[in-house]
Amino acid sequence: METLNRKKIDKTFKALAILTLLIWFLILAKDVILPISFAALFSVVLLPFVKRLDKKINRVFAISIVLFSSFMIVALFTWFIVSQLTKLVASLPGIEDKFYSLVNSVSSSLNDQFKISTADQGTLLKEGIKNLSDNASSLLVSTSYLLYFFIQVPIYIFLFLLYRDRFKDFLLALRPGSDLKWMDEIQGVVRHYISGLGLVVFIAGVLNSIGLLILGIDHAIFFGFLSGMLTMIPYVGITLGATMPALLALVTKDSAWYAVGVIGLHMTVQFLEGNFITPKITGSRISVNALAAIIALLVGGKIWGIPGMILAVPSVGILKIILSYSNELKPLVILLGDEKNGEPEITAKETSDQPAGK
C-alpha cells in the first residue's frame, strides 16, 4: 500500500514538474510559438479549399491561390477599418472641445462633492500621463512585433499546408497502426469554431451597429464592428467593446442616458450572443463551461496576453478531445465540458468500460 502511494505521489510530482516546465517554455518562447499557433489554426480552416484545388492544379499553386484570396478578404476588411478610422480622426477636433468641457464639468463636481482640489486633480492627471509615457516603449515593441507577426503567419500557413502529409506520416510513425481519428476530430472542431466565430463576430457587429445608429452615436458602424470583433475574447471583450462608444456618448451627447443606452445595448447583444447566436452557430462541439473558460482566459492572458485569451477557448476544446482518448485522463472532460448544450455526459461507468489504450 505504501509503495502504491509513493508511486502515485511520484507520478503526480512528475506531472506537475512537466506542467511547470511547459508553462515556463510557453512564456519564454512566446514570440516564436504565437504566430505558429495562429498559423496552425488558420491552416486547418483553409485546408478544405486547398484540397479541392489540389485535384486540379499543382499543390504550390493551390496554396498560393487560397492564401492570396484570404489576403484580399483581409485587405478589404482592413480598408474598411482604416476608412472608418479616418472619419474618426477627422472629427477629433470637435470631440476634443467637448472632451475638455466634460473634464471641466467633472473637475468642478469632484471639487464640490468630494473636496478634491484642482491641484490634487492635476497631480493625479500628471501621474496618469507619466504612466502612459513610461509604457510608450512597450507600445513601440508591440507594434514592431505585430508587423513580425503578420509576416510570419502567412509563411507558416504556406509551409503547414505544403508539408501536411509529412506531419501525418510523423504521427503514424510515432504510433503505428493508429487511425488518427483524434486528429480528424480536432480539425473538425477547429474548423467549426473558427468559421462559426467569424459569423458570430459579423452578426454581433451588425446588431451593435444598428443599435448605435438608433441611439445616434457617431461612427456607429466602426464601433459596432469593433465591439463585434472583441467578442472573440469571452467575458472580457464585451466590457472593452462598450467602453469606447459609451465614453464617446458622454462627450458628444447632452445626456448621460445615451451612455447608459450604449451599455444596455452591449449587454443585450452579449445576452443574445451567449444564449442564442453562439449555441446555434458553433453548437456544442467545442462547448466549455464558464468555470473552465474563465480559468483558461486568466491563464492564457497571464502567459500570452490578449492573444492568449483569444486562443484559450479553442485550446481547451482541443484539450477535451485529447483527454477523451486517454483512459486515465478522460474524467477531466467532465470538468471542462458544458453538458447543458447537448454534449453527452461522460459517466464513471463509461470511463471504466473504455478499453485501455483508446
Which DSSP string do the residues of 100-118 spell out, in sequence order? HHHHHHHHHHHHHHS---H
Cβ–Cβ under 8 Å, residues 316 and 293:
yes
> Mean pLDDT per segment of 10 residues, for the chain of length 358 residues?
69 79 86 88 89 87 92 86 75 58 60 58 53 44 66 91 87 73 79 80 90 88 86 72 84 82 89 74 62 80 81 82 78 73 42 40
Any domain includes 13: no
Of the residues 250, 283, 316, which one is the last residue of a structural domain? 283
Count: domains in the chain: 3
Cβ–Cβ under 8 Å, residues 339 and 345:
yes
Residues 46 and 143 in one domain: yes
Whole-structure pTM value = 0.68
Residues 109 and 143 in one domain: yes
Give the pLDDT score at 102. 57
Residues 258 and 347 in one domain: no
Give the pLDDT score at 141. 46
Residues 36 and 155 in one domain: yes
Residues 33 and 149 in one domain: yes
Of the residues 283, 315, 332, which one is the last residue of a structural domain? 283
Does residue 56 sit in helix, strand or coil?
Answer: coil
Give the pLDDT score at 356. 39
Any domain includes 2: no
Residues 294 and 279 in one domain: no
Containing 140, the helix (H) or strand (E) segment is helix 136-162
Any domain includes 244: yes
Residues 304 and 323 in one domain: yes
Residue 210 grid cell = 444598428
Full residue range of the structural domain in which residue 336 is found? 284-358
Cβ–Cβ under 8 Å, residues 202 and 269:
no
Residues 186 and 250 in one domain: yes
Residue type (1 letter), 53 = L
Residues 184 and 251 in one domain: yes
Any domain includes 7: no
